[in-house]
Structure 1
Amino acid sequence: MRTDAAEVLDSAIPVLAKDRAASMQVIAARAGISRATLVRHFPTRKLLVQAMAEKILDDCDRVLAQAEGDAAPMEQVLAALVAAYTPFAQLWNLVYVDPDVSGLPEASTRAKAIFIRTVKLMERGQKSGLLRGDMPATWLASTFCGLAETAWELTLEGHMGARQAPDFINAILLHGASA
């Protein structure tokens, strides 16, 4: 049985993504942990959601820091960013929409900063010639995050394999949906 707080969060995030109204009892049951274990780490649902947001924001920061510091060709940087798409999916799926998170000014500020950094990476991709220059970098960053969310949800629902998701995101981001 899982007892580590990080493992509890990893198990609870997909549950809340599928059912935003899930109670602590439902979250614990669907995450495969006891309610006592969940409450020991996160005494209230609000604290659980806030901890989830913090983890997601920290994960996005970590992935972006690696991408920003990577001097490799942009194809490799983008591939690494896309391979680590999950926190960006979770950011859009949970952090931007949950009232327990959206009411926290620091979470909102961090989420906006993460998006700005993602836009800057897309600008870097445009300058390198990898990404289209005729679209705003904001559009490309939003597209990446939207594709990440879609891939994550489809993976959670069993409609695609976890290893397929980065390839699909990359294909659409780089080539669109044309044949």
Structure 2
Amino acid sequence: MLDSAIPVLAKDRAASMQVIASRAGISRATLVRLFPTRKLLVQAMAEKILNDCDKILARAEADAAPMDQVLTALVAEYTPFAQLWNLVYIEPDVSGLPEASTRAKAIFLRTVKVMERGQNSGLLRNDMPGTWLASTFCGLAETAWELTLEGHMGARQGPDFITAILLHGVSA
């Protein structure tokens, strides 16, 4: 249910519980039974996003495969990183929570480490800080996710586009 509700809130920050329930394909009564308040719903969304990012990063960190394969696997699962930037960092019911902020910062720092690993392997550019590459990845993830939600690109194009920009920039 949260997977269906997250895009609703991302597209409409003022979405009511009724709108979220309707677009998620459940009744408002069911939604309220699961999450008595909108704040609790938003916090559950954030928790799911943070947990998903943690799982994806744990796999990337443990993967001993060549860095191009690690990056491909990370980028294939870009959606939680898009949601992290789109919801966790800016949603008032989440951004003020110390635990969520601490976890989001830790996720970002782990993402920086993966990018630095890519730099050390020679796959990613060394002339830019790892923080720039991690921010670029997250920003590209958010852009791809939003364009997919709006119907401007297909879901399967996202990873290819993100990888192309990370590895080759925007030059022809």
- The answer to whether TM tops 0.5 is yes
Counting only pairs closer than 5 Å after superposition, residues 8-157 of structure 1 correspond to structure 2 as 8-157=1-150
Question: How far did residue 40 of structure 1 move?
Answer: 1.0
Give the structure-2-normalised TM-score.
Answer: 0.99
Question: How far did residue 14 of structure 1 move?
Answer: 0.3
Question: How far did residue 30 of structure 1 move?
Answer: 1.6
Q: Tell me how large the CA RMSD over aligned residues is.
A: 0.5
Question: How far did residue 26 of structure 1 move?
Answer: 1.1
Per-residue CA shift, 1:84-123, capped at 9, x if unaligned? Answer: 0000000000000000001110000000000000000000
Choose the corresponding residue for 2:160, options 157, 167, 173.
167
Give the structure-1-normalised TM-score.
Answer: 0.95
Equivalent residue, structure 2, for 1:3:
none
Tell me the number of residue pairs that the alignment of Structure 1 and Structure 2 aligns.
172
Give structure 2 stretches of 5+ with no counterpart: none
Higher mean C-alpha deviation, range 35-44 or range 109-118: 35-44
Question: How far did residue 171 of structure 1 move?
Answer: 0.2
Question: How far did residue 134 of structure 1 move?
Answer: 0.2
Where 1:68 maps in the other structure, the secondary structure is helix
- Report percent identity of matched pairs: 88
Distance 1:38 1:171 in 2: 39
Distance 1:110 1:168 in 2: 27
Distance 1:82 1:151 in 2: 11
Question: How far did residue 17 of structure 1 move?
Answer: 0.3
Kindly report structure 1 stretches of 4+ aligned residues shifted beyond 6 Å: none
Question: How far did residue 173 of structure 1 move?
Answer: 0.7
Per-residue CA shift, 1:132-151, capped at 9, x if unaligned? Answer: 00001000000000000000
